[in-house]
A and B are shown apart, each in its own frame.
Chain A
Amino acid sequence: DVKVTQSSRYLVKRTGEKVFLECVQDMDHENMFWYRQDPGLGLRLIYFSYDVKMKEKGDIPEGYSVSREKKERFSLILESASTNQTSMYLCASSALSGDNEQFFGPGTRLTVL
């Protein structure tokens, strides 16, 4: 059974803290993505990666960075968390070819106080 896992379901951090969100997939997918989901705004793309050590900015990269040192792992980093980064964070992966189906992790509900 294909699987995308995220390090935490719920996370509470304080303003200014450095936050790491980890995502691991076991499908040998080339592409990995980080989205945030807020009510009424859908899923907004933060960053994506199409290969190890390769990354591209999405629509809302400000305040975030990413790391992909291994094919199966894609990390999202909030360098200095702020209250407006309180959100649901979803990781996804997909193969390079085919129907481009994305498989999503369960999400991390991050609250920044």
Chain B
Amino acid sequence: GQSLEQPSEVTAVEGAIVQINCTYQTSGFYGLSWYQQHDGGAPTFLSYNALDGLEETGRFSSFLSRSDSYGYLLLQELQMKDSASYFCAVRSGSSASKIIFGSGTRLSIRP
């Protein structure tokens, strides 16, 4: 079967750094994505890692280790607007088009 595991909740302080981990089990793995979803909104794309290593986009970075079936999203200089749910998602399957999501991590930022 296929599964993704990520923490259900994380709390951090404004200005700090937080890391959200994701472990996955899937067949035909092609890459790991991260999405952000604010309450009442639709998920929006943050990053995609197809190869091992760190990808940086502004305050957000994403890491992938294919050998460990593991990745993380790193958020730096946290701002109140970063309070949201974050989902990891894997691209897999024989057609390379199947995308399944984890259950999400709710990030709460304290002043």
A in complex with B: yes
B87 within 8 Å of A (CB atoms): yes
Complex CA gap A17/B2 in Å reads 32
Contact of B100 with A58 in the complex, beta carbons under 8 Å: yes
Contact-residue size bin, chain B (C-beta under 8 Å from the other chain): 20 to 34
A contact residues around B48 at 8 Å (CB): 99-101
The distance from the CB of A46 to the nearest CB of chain B, in whole angstroms, is: 11
A76 within 8 Å of B (CB atoms): no
- Pick the most buried of A40, A41, A100, A103: most chain B CB atoms within 10 A of its CB: A100
The distance from the CB of A62 to the nearest CB of chain B, in whole angstroms, is: 16
A33 within 8 Å of B (CB atoms): yes
Contact-residue size bin, chain A (C-beta under 8 Å from the other chain): 20 to 34
A48 within 8 Å of B (CB atoms): yes
Q: Is the interface of B mostly helix, strand, loop or mixed?
A: strand
B contact residues around A113 at 8 Å (CB): none
A-B contact count (CB 8 A): 65
B contact residues around A30 at 8 Å (CB): 97
Closest Cβ neighbor of B4 among chain A residues: A42
A contact residues around B44 at 8 Å (CB): 104
Complex CA gap A99/B101 in Å reads 16
B contact residues around A25 at 8 Å (CB): none
Q: Which of A31, A33, A59, A90 is close to B42, meaning CB atoms less than 8 Å apart?
A: A90
Of the A-B pairs whose beta carbons lie under 8 Å apart in the complex, a sample of 16, sorted by A's number, is A30-B97, A31-B97, A42-B103, A43-B43, A43-B104, A44-B101, A48-B97, A50-B95, A56-B97, A56-B98, A90-B43, A92-B43, A100-B33, A101-B33, A106-B42, A107-B42
Which of A's residues lie within 8 Å of B, judged by CB?
A: 30-31, 33, 35, 40-45, 48, 50, 56, 58-59, 90, 92, 94, 96, 99-107
